[in-house]
A and B are shown apart, each in its own frame.
Chain A
Amino acid sequence: MNILLKDINKRFGDQPVLQSIDLSVQSGEFIAILGPSGCGKTTLLRLLAGFENPSDGEIYFGNERVASSLTWAPAEKRNVGMVFQSFALWPHMTVREHVEFPLRYGKKRTDTSRIESVLKAVGLSALAKRFPSELSGGQKQRVSFARAIAASPDILLMDEPLSNLDAELRLEMRREIQQLHRYTKATIIYVTHDQGEALAMSDRMVIMRDGKVEQVGTPREIYNQPKTEFVAKFVGKANLIPGEWNQEKFIPRYAEEGVFWTDSETSDVFRKKGLFPLRPEQLFLHRIGPGIKGEIVNSQYQGKEIHYTVQVHEERWEVHSNIFQDYHIGEEVFIKHKSHTLSL
């Protein structure tokens, strides 16, 4: 089902939490909403769920207006499924009763024969009689998925569903969520603060900050062509290197005469400000110039690579290099741009 958000504002008291959010989501799309804590992403999800109403603006599910500043359909009247960060399982009900719940008591009552196929889809058939206290973290999350998709909702909302699981399980559950998406064909709105999850699973990403949308785009666009400093730093952990743009030529400010890097994809926002956003893996270090001269101030051995922090004048940049390049703290190095190693 399509979702349309028109100029949504939300204030708690005088404090604005969401400011003029416009977003259009295609039916069956997987949208990840990414932002640091306190950026308003969870509030946005609650507006979609129907637990809050917007202060201004309108929300449409398909052609139906489900919320405006005046009227809003409560959660139970929207055909939406939701997965909560805390799983939100009912301690007094078995796995089976959780899946049965929306089918038996919900507004949109469906054939209860779906229970078996839903349980099977999330791999819980064998555990149907267990209570939540008898399940592991991953199993609890599966119950939460099963309950959310039981009534075949058109829209599935997920509020940081993996943040309560350990790292190993998180990777496994990513695949399960992708399968779930293919199985239900529902529109998914997935809130997270982990850019890895968003990049890996979503069709499009919405980057939020301080209640506003910073950028909307496919994971590749967001990662490779950030439109704002925040997106470049938050998603790609990019270094914002100052310098001068001349068409496709970038002359870094702290490099010696004659050094220039070329690039055609960088957004105009950065060109105007004289910045070149480069992620740690787009740079490399060398003992000999030319390049930007700096000093190693920190190093972290990661196994497959080494993360160096390099001090250049007032700024500190992050550079990832392979494990064969061993620099000690205090050593003088030159920072170079990877795609242009051959030209220089």
Chain B
Amino acid sequence: MMGERIQIETQGYHGQANPSVPPLFSRMFTRMTTGIGLLLVLVFFGLPIIKLIVLSFVSHTGISLENYAILFREGRTWTTIGNTLFLSISSTLLAIVLGVLTAWLVAYANIRGKKLMHAMILISFVIPSYVMTLSWTQFLAADGLMARMLSFLTGEVVKPWNLYSYDGMIFMLGIHHYPLVYLLSLSGFRRIPRELEWASRISGVGRWKTFFLVTLPLSVPGIVSGGLMAFLASLDNFGIPAFLGIPAHISVLSTSIYEQMTGFGPESIARAAALSGVLGVFSLVATWIQWLWLRRFKPIESVREDYEPRFYFSNFKLAVEIVVWIVLLILSFIPLLTMGFQSFLRAYGVPIRFENLTLANYEFILFENTKVQHAILNSFVLAGASVMICLVIGTGIAYLRVRKPNLVIRGVEMIVGLPYAIPGVVFALAMILAWMEPIPGWNPGIYGSMTILLLAYIGRFLILQVRGSMTAMMQVDQYVEEAAHISGASRFYKWKKVLIPLMLPGILNGVLLVFLTALTELTVSSILWSSGTETIGVVIFNFEQAGSTKYSTALSNLIVFVMVISAICYFSFNVRKRKEHKR
């Protein structure tokens, strides 16, 4: 007892000792660290983008609009822009319809198994788009599962849907991005107090009209934000147009920037920069429109989420549940399952019989092909390094942003978010321009090595960790920290016993997100890789382009496997945490 008191007193003494540092010096020190931090952030995050913008205006005649002028004179450019907008808008509409419908069912209806439904919906987004695409092309192939099922049912040879087409791409983009709309609409729906709907009913307005007059207007902010995210993600997406669009000669901005970069023509970089400018402008305009729109909406004052059902299917409940589950299984699960089977087959398209089963595909990618082994190693190293660096820097930024917010740190947050907000191909291009010759005439050899990939990954995914850690810290009230102080806990115990346990789940969410996104990254890597620095995504893409579907399938399955393992770890960790809390 006595000892504790003495300890507290000595702490108080130390606390008072601090001001004895000359105030002028400490203020200079703070300013210097702030300055250096800001400079680093600008160099690593802001500069590449600025350089890209500048370069898009530089041509052999000097600074002009010539690159854009040349671009817009070509009919092909207009087709590409038209394709991009058409695909993005249509797929966003599909994502909104699917997302709002599923969100409404999960938030409002009295159906069972909502937690599983939720997980099932998220699968579509968590699995990388190129893996999803691969699984769907096999599911719908001429001799795939769907074709067999349909011929069995109809007795004729049926050719299922050709995904290598506009509608196929719209479908894939839509089902990959609808979870974004779902997530934002879901919390929007749950935040609407049920009394607001009751007030409408009691005013003599029926169920349907109430939905359109009250529920929908109040959930619009969530739906629009989700829709915008789906739109931006469609502009940004590279996997789906690369896997479906390139074979079908349907080009969009992201793939044509890629083709420019791999084409290595004399003008290619300038053209790619100009195309990137166009794509960047689309993203910014979309964000701006959303901002204008959302400004008009009044926020709901309550923040409490209501998890109780509000709409009761009485007679149709089972029917609704069956339909929902069939749709969800087809959207998220069965194609992956077919891909799983496919990977054990001796050759693409042979019937599923025992003598056709083999492990040869896995043997090849895991033990025989050194390129794949390198790629797997590269991806794990890159993902691991990104996670560690993002964890330290991102959590630091998050701590300052939450506890000591000022203009500088807000600016830092915005700049750090920029590389994630702009399309991946655009950022990749910016990275090349920034690091090929950081100072004219000096090439440090960063471009062409693993370093540029690491820099790009950190640049692009740091914001994910910042957001994750920020959410975690905002959940820990300032009072909790103060209560630890007032109870006499030392700084060490304050962090060990109070802050870290409370923040850990949120921070881990960020870590997991950064890890999985980096591990399966394709867009940025497809432009920045060079011989020896392939990543998993790049190898799958190369296999697919070379027609080696067996191997791309097997490797995609490995990704799914890693994701399943991560998901299991994540959930069992959460369940254990929850049990601890209950105790």
Contacts and interface: CB of A to CB of B under 8 A. Distances in A.
A92 B214 CA distance: 9
Interface string B199-228: 111111111010001100110000000000
Interface of A: 49-51, 74-82, 84-86, 88-92, 101-102, 105-108, 131-133, 147-148, 150-151, 157
Given A82-B198, A86-B193, A131 B204 contact: no
Contact of A51 (B201, B298, B302): B201
B200 A81 contact: no
Contact of A133 (B195, B301, B302): B301
Contacts of A90: 196, 199-200, 214, 218
Nearest to B206: A76
Contacts of B293: none
B194 to A, nearest CB: 9
B193 to A, nearest CB: 6
A112 to B, nearest CB: 14
B308 to A, nearest CB: 12
A159 to B, nearest CB: 9
Contacts of A86: 193, 195, 302
A88 B298 contact: no
Contacts, number: 89
Q: Which 9 A-B pairs have the closest CB atoms?
A: A106-B204, A102-B203, A88-B195, A75-B201, A91-B298, A107-B204, A88-B199, A82-B202, A84-B195
B306 to A, nearest CB: 12
Nearest to B196: A88
B298 A131 contact: yes
A151 B203 CA distance: 8
Given A105-B209, A133-B301, A76 B202 contact: yes
Contact of A76 (B193, B195, B201, B218): B201
B532 interface: no
B299 interface: yes
Contacts of B341: none
28 contacts: A51-B201, A74-B206, A75-B201, A76-B202, A76-B204, A76-B206, A77-B204, A78-B202, A79-B204, A82-B199, A82-B202, A85-B195, A86-B302, A88-B195, A88-B198, A90-B218, A91-B300, A101-B205, A102-B205, A105-B200, A105-B209, A105-B213, A106-B204, A106-B205, A132-B298, A147-B199, A150-B203, A151-B204
A156 to B, nearest CB: 10
A102 B206 CA distance: 11
Contact of B204 (A85, A89, A91, A108): A108
B571 interface: no
A105 B204 contact: yes
Given A133-B301, A147-B199, A105 B205 contact: yes
Contacts of A147: 199, 203
A102 B205 CA distance: 7
Contacts of A78: 202
Nearest to B299: A91
A106 B407 CA distance: 50
Given A75-B198, A105-B213, A147-B199, A88 B193 contact: yes
Contact of B198 (A84, A92, A107, A108): A84
B304 to A, nearest CB: 10
Most B C-beta atoms less than 10 A away, residue of A89, A91, A102, A147: A91
B297 interface: yes
Nearest to B197: A88
Contacts of B193: 86, 88
Contacts of B206: 74, 76, 107
A81 B203 CA distance: 7
B297 A92 contact: yes
A291 B163 CA distance: 96
A76 B218 CA distance: 20
A92 B204 contact: no
Contacts of B299: 91, 133
Nearest to A51: B198
B223 to A, nearest CB: 14
Given A74-B206, A92-B297, A106-B203, 16 more contacts: A49-B202, A51-B198, A75-B198, A75-B201, A82-B202, A88-B193, A88-B195, A92-B298, A101-B213, A102-B205, A105-B213, A106-B205, A107-B206, A132-B298, A147-B199, A147-B203
Contacts of B301: 91, 132-133
A227 B227 CA distance: 62
Nearest to A91: B298
B486 to A, nearest CB: 30
A81 B214 CA distance: 17
A228 B202 CA distance: 35
Contacts of A105: 200, 203-205, 209, 213
